[in-house]
Amino acid sequence: MSAPLVIGVDVGGTKILSGVVDREGTVLAQSLIESPGSSEEDVLQAIDATVADCLDERIGAIGFGVPANLERGTGRVLRATNLPFDDFDLAGHARARFGLPVGVENDANATTLAEWKLGAGRGASSLVMLTLGTGIGGGIVLDDRLYRGWAEIGHIVVQADGPPCQGNCHGRGHLEALASGTAADGAAQELWGEGADARVLVERARSGDEAACAWLDEIGGFVGAAIGSLANLFDPELFVIGGGFGIAAGALVLEPAQEAARREALAPADKRLRIVPAELGAEAGLVGAGLVGFEALDGAW
Ligand SMILES: [Zn+2]
């Protein structure tokens, strides 16, 4: 008989969050380490410590959500923008350390899995998710299956020759450079100086500040341009917007995004295209990592 619970590990650039997750996506216990350090050894130590914190006899597997490009089929971490992993076998490490089945998925793919199975995408057979946070992640569900490839929607070009992208990306005019929480921080600082950030931008837009509204309109326009192109590629039933900044901005970004997307999308997607907010909140990444753990438990890895 298989154990009923797994550990999900949401590996972020600035924090490692592990949690005990059941099949319904309920998080029963959590362990968090902020600022795990910047070497591979430090990050692994933080991961191992939070997993060990959550470990007991009910745990049957471990699932990871990692902000990195993975090798399809093996979950090997090829390259991460904000983590010191370079061609690293995280699954092999965790299997050897804890003696349990292990699954590893890109963090935005894991979040998409959670929103599709348990959140805003329940019952849909196709959707595309965008997470607007420090960076922009993406995930794609087509024909009732999560696409296991890169889905790096944040690195779609929405402005040729635009501003340089972030981290290890050498591209220009990518969605992430123009519509992420980091881009919103930059907009706020341009308007009100050093101390301002995306939160201030959203607050002031809500209280009617015209400059703030104009910036969020522009950000929504870039998101909509990407969504219109994605509609023309995949024609999914819906688009789900998550991530810390995406959720906080809500309709301030979703409405201009919908308008821009309908302008770019081919008929009949131009009329029926739907953009909805994510439902699982800040725990989506952890729950998604847990679902990847259940896949490992069920023998999918
Ligand atoms: Zn980029």
pLDDT per residue as tens digits for the range 253-289 = 999 999 999 999 999 999 999 999 999 988 999 999 9
Ramachandran angles phi, psi of 22, nearest 5°: -100, 180
Q: Which of the pair, 8 or 35, is modelled with greater confidence? A: 8
Ligand 1 centroid – CA 82 distance (Å): 13
In the sheet that 15-21 helps form, which strands lie side by side, from edge to edge? 27-34, 15-21, 5-11, 59-66, 102-106
Q: What is the mean pLDDT of residues 196-224?
A: 98
Q: What is the mean pLDDT of residues 132-157?
A: 94
Ligand 1 centroid – CA 128 distance (Å): 19
Ligand 1 centroid – CA 154 distance (Å): 6
- C-alpha dihedral (221, 120, 110, 117), degrees to nearest 10: -150
**Cα angle, residue 293 at apex, residues 121 and 134 outer, rounded to 5°:** 60
Q: What gap in Å lies between CA 238 and CA 274, rounded to an integer?
A: 5
**pLDDT tens digits for range 64-91:** 999 888 988 788 998 887 788 889 999 9
Q: 153 falls in which pLDDT band (50, 70, 90)?
A: very high
Q: What is the pLDDT of residue 301?
A: 67
Is the model's pLDDT at 2 over the cut of 70? Answer: no
Ligand 1 centroid – CA 145 distance (Å): 26
SS3 164: strand
Q: 120 falls in which pLDDT band (50, 70, 90)?
A: very high
Ramachandran angles phi, psi of 79, nearest 5°: -160, 130
Is the model's pLDDT at 214 over the cut of 60? Answer: yes
Residues less than 5 Å from ion ligand 1, measured at CB: 155, 165, 169, 171, 174
